[in-house]
Amino acid sequence: MYNTSKGNYSVKLNKVIEKFNLKNLTPEVDTKKIIIRQTDVNRPALQFAGYFEYFDYSRIQLIGKVEYSYLKMHDDDYIREMTEKIFKAGIPCMIFCRGLEPRPLFMELGNKYGVPVLATDDGTSSFFSELNRFLKIELAPRISIHGVLVDVFGEGVLITGESGIGKSEAALELVKRGHRLVSDDVVEIKKTNNDELIGTAPDITRYFIELRGIGIIDVKTLYGVQSVEESQSISLIIKLEEWDREREYDRLGLEEQYEEILGNKVVCHSIPIRPGRNLAIIVETAAINHRQKQMGYNAAHELYRRVTGNLQKKREED
Catalytic residues, by residue number, are 146, 167, 185, 251
Q: Per DSSP, what are the bridge partners of residue 259?
A: 266
- Return d(Cα 83, Cα 44) in angstroms, integer: 10
- Return d(Cα 116, Cα 72) in angstroms, integer: 21
Local structure of 144: helix, strand or coil? strand
Answer whether 24's CB lies under 8 Å from 17's CB: yes
- Return d(Cα 306, Cα 308) in angstroms, integer: 6
- Return d(Cα 240, Cα 243) in angstroms, integer: 9
Q: Which residue, among 235, 226, 243, 221, has the nearest Cα to 165 in the 3D structure? A: 243
Task: Using alpha carbons only, give the angle 294, 296, 297 rounded to the nearest 5 degrees.
Answer: 105
- Return d(Cα 283, Cα 271) in angstroms, integer: 9
